[in-house]
């Protein structure tokens, strides 16, 4: 039977969430508990996805063969996007190599969610699978965002891709998002430095997203303490051509920046790109 103290006991359910990286630090009164933990007074808000979608009906942990589950949202609508998660406890990208997380296969499972919902693999630059950094996530369960890319992001990625063709396998774009406004993105061939942009793009060839090992490319092997990239950089994967993928590294931005439902003209969400 599930115990509310599972979050405290199971090492796979112990992590830091976004507010632990904020300035000023967490209040002293909170320091006795992991960010995801249940205590005698407070519910674990960051555990919602895990308990809503990834456990058995009584809240106990799924065991056996790992599977990927999703919420009820559509990945092919402009107004919403889908979340894809392993059905076993996996606290986030800092343990992506754990057997309960599914490793690189999480990317393929997310793409399948898009195609099962009617999306086409060949809708190049038109959809994205993304995941938040430790610093940007709000939920304590690895979850992949699957949805449409905003026109502004799509156009900047296309422009950079055209410029890079036959010349280099990487480029940068700059994106920003103001509240109640659509995201603004730009590719500038004369400003191809990390310091002047917000998203680094790597072009990789492979038959599937997992074949180009996006997690390994951006985060490397899991480590303790987690790497700076794991803490700070969200990331995403976009199909750019047949058997070709763009690996996006958001330099301190949130995964939601890449989604039409969160950063399009109808979105009032305040997010950092």
- Measure the CA–CA gap between 244 and 215, rounded to whole angstroms: 16
pLDDT in tens, 39-82: 434 445 677 788 789 888 776 778 889 999 999 999 999 999 99
Preceding peptide of 24 cis, ω within 30°: yes
Q: Is residue 57 part of a domain?
A: no
Q: Is residue 39 part of a domain?
A: no
- Measure the CA–CA gap between 48 and 255, rounded to whole angstroms: 19
pLDDT in tens, 14-30: 443 434 333 444 443 34
Q: Is residue 49 part of a domain?
A: no
pLDDT in tens, 78-122: 999 999 999 988 888 988 999 999 999 999 999 999 999 999 999
Q: Is residue 5 part of a domain?
A: no
Buried b (16+ CB within 10 A) or exposed e, 58-76: eeebbeeebebbbbebbbb
Would you say residue 239 has pLDDT above 70? yes
Q: Is residue 130 part of a domain?
A: yes
Please state, as a whole number, how many other Cβ atoms lie within 10 Å of the Cβ of residue 6: 21
Question: pLDDT value at position 11?
Answer: 39
Computed over every residue of the chain, the mean pLDDT equals: 84
Would you say residue 7 has pLDDT above 60? no
What is the domain-level CATH number for residue 79? 3.30.428.30
Number of domains in the chain: 1
Least confident range from 151-155, 180-184, 268-272: namely 268-272
Question: pLDDT value at position 45?
Answer: 63
pTM of the model: 0.86
Q: Is residue 144 part of a domain?
A: yes
Cα angle 74, 75, 76; round to 5: 90
**Nearest to 250, CA basis, from 135, 82, 160:** 135
Query: For tokens 């659509």, what's the residue?
Result: 182
| 247 or 6, greater pLDDT | 247
Q: Is residue 191 part of a domain?
A: yes
Q: For residue 79, what are its two tokens?
A: 């107004």
Instruction: Give residue 91's domain range.
Output: 66-263
Q: Is residue 19 part of a domain?
A: no
Q: For residue 2, what are its two tokens?
A: 């599930």
């Amino acid at each position: 039977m599930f115990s509310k103290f599972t979050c405290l006991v199971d090492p796979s359910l112990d992590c830091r969430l976004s507010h632990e990286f904020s300035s000023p630090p967490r209040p002293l009164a909170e320091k006795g508990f992991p960010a995801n933990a249940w205590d005698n007074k407070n519910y674990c808000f960051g555990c919602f996805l895990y308990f809503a979608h990834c456990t058995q009906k009584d809240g106990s942990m799924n065991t056996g063969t790992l599977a990927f589950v999703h919420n009820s949202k559509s990945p092919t609508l402009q107004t919403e996007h889908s979340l894809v998660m392993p059905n076993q406890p996996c606290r986030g990208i800092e343990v992506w190599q754990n057997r309960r997380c599914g490793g690189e296969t999480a990317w393929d499972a997310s793409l399948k969610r898009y195609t099962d919902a009617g999306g086409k693999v060949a809708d190049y630059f038109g959809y994205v699978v993304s995941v938040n950094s430790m610093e940007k996530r709000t939920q304590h369960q690895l979850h992949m965002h699957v949805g449409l890319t905003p026109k502004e992001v799509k156009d900047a990625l296309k422009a950079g891709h055209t410029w890079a063709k036959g010349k280099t396998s990487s480029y940068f774009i700059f994106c920003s998002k103001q509240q109640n406004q659509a995201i603004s993105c730009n590719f500038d061939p004369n400003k191809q430095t990390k310091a002047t942009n917000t998203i680094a793009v790597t072009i990789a060839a492979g038959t599937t997203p997992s074949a180009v090992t996006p997690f390994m490319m951006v985060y490397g092997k899991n480590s303790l303490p987690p790497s700076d990239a794991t803490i700070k950089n969200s990331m995403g994967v976009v199909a750019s051509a047949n058997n070709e993928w763009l690996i996006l590294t958001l330099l301190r931005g949130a995964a939601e920046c890449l989604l039409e439902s969160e950063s399009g003209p109808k979105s009032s969400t305040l997010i950092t790109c």
